Structure 1
Amino acid sequence: MSIYLNGCATQPRQSVDLQEYLKGFLGKSSTTIQQELNLRSLGFQIAHVPQKTSNQLIYTILRPLSIPIPMVSNVEMGGNPVPIQSGTLGSNSYDVNFNCKVIFQLKNDIAESIQYEGKAC
């Protein structure tokens, strides 16, 4: 018996270079950043409203990733692909949300630098 597994994962491409875009907010106040930064209009999903502390302004970007369920080609069944059962009936993929935290480091309420945390940055 021969079994072949096939699978792939794709991530939606963003048309905007996020890091280059965000550099334009350096030197601006946290209030200005919150008023002018609209990540949703750029095609990004945001987890919630930005978190603000005395020295940070934090945005959490969600990056949904759809991972197709692998298909098995069984030579004894004529080579036709057969989905592997995953416990969730009717679903052809796993949906996972990775996140990226964009952290504006503030000094006197002015953005001085940007840090990125997370697997989706």
Structure 2
Amino acid sequence: MKPFIVSSLSSICFLLLQACSNAPAQNHTVISSTKIALPDYLEQYIGQDVSSIRRQLNLHKLGYETLGSPIQTSNQLSYTIVRRIQIPTPMPTMRSDSSVGAIPIPTATPYYDVQLECQVHFLLKDNIAQSVQYQGKACKGY
């Protein structure tokens, strides 16, 4: 009986290792180490007029994804940057009284897609950028 238990446990360990090694690859957003820091890049636009900023600022070229077009009011020009992340779905835990051979069944999607936003606001005076402010959880990583 003891060799059967050892053999069964070995088979289960092998199956679990195979399942982990064959898990689908997850696409994560990787920020290149050569990417220009967002605050450093945006500082160069302070002192410029709105039309120059709208014409020259290209966040896509730097690898940032934006949501929609910039929004302009009398006192600010705002851009929304989106950071998409994937949060792994937790694997179900096996109960201690489960029978030998019980294997957790993976969910259909191994992760949750989450979209975090960062609002970039150029504060304007007479259509000239006076400063830049950031708002949102996604801004912390830039």
Bucket of the pairwise TM-score, normalised by the shorter protein: 0.7 to 0.9
Structure 1 match to 2:22: none
Question: Which segments of 5 or more consecutive residues in structure 1 lack a partner in the other structure?
Answer: 1-9
Sequence identity of aligned pairs in percent? 41
User: Which is richer in helix?
Assistant: 2
Structure 2 match to 1:109: 127
Cα–Cα, structure 1 residues 79 and 26, in superposed 2: closer, same or farther, change >3 Å?
farther
The root-mean-square deviation of aligned C-alpha atoms, in Å, is 2.1
User: Which is richer in strand?
Assistant: 1
1:13 to 14, 24, 31: 31
1:93 aligned to 2:93?
no
Equivalent pairs, count? 107
| More off after superposition, 74-83 vs 100-109 | 74-83
Cα–Cα, structure 1 residues 78 and 42, in superposed 2: closer, same or farther, change >3 Å?
farther
Question: Which segments of 5 or more consecutive residues in structure 2 lack a partner in the other structure?
Answer: 1-27
Structure 2 match to 1:7: none
Q: TM-score normalized by structure 1?
A: 0.78
Residue 12 (structure 1) shift = 3.3
Question: Residues 73 and 79 of structure 1 are in contact (CA less than 8 Å); yes or no, is this contact kept in structure 2?
Answer: no
Structure with bigger RCO (C-alpha 8 Å, 6+ apart): 1
Counterpart code for 1:55: N
Counterpart of 1:71 in 2: which secondary structure? coil
Deviations 1:75-120 (A, max 9, x none): 755696543x5xxxx3221001110000000011000001111111
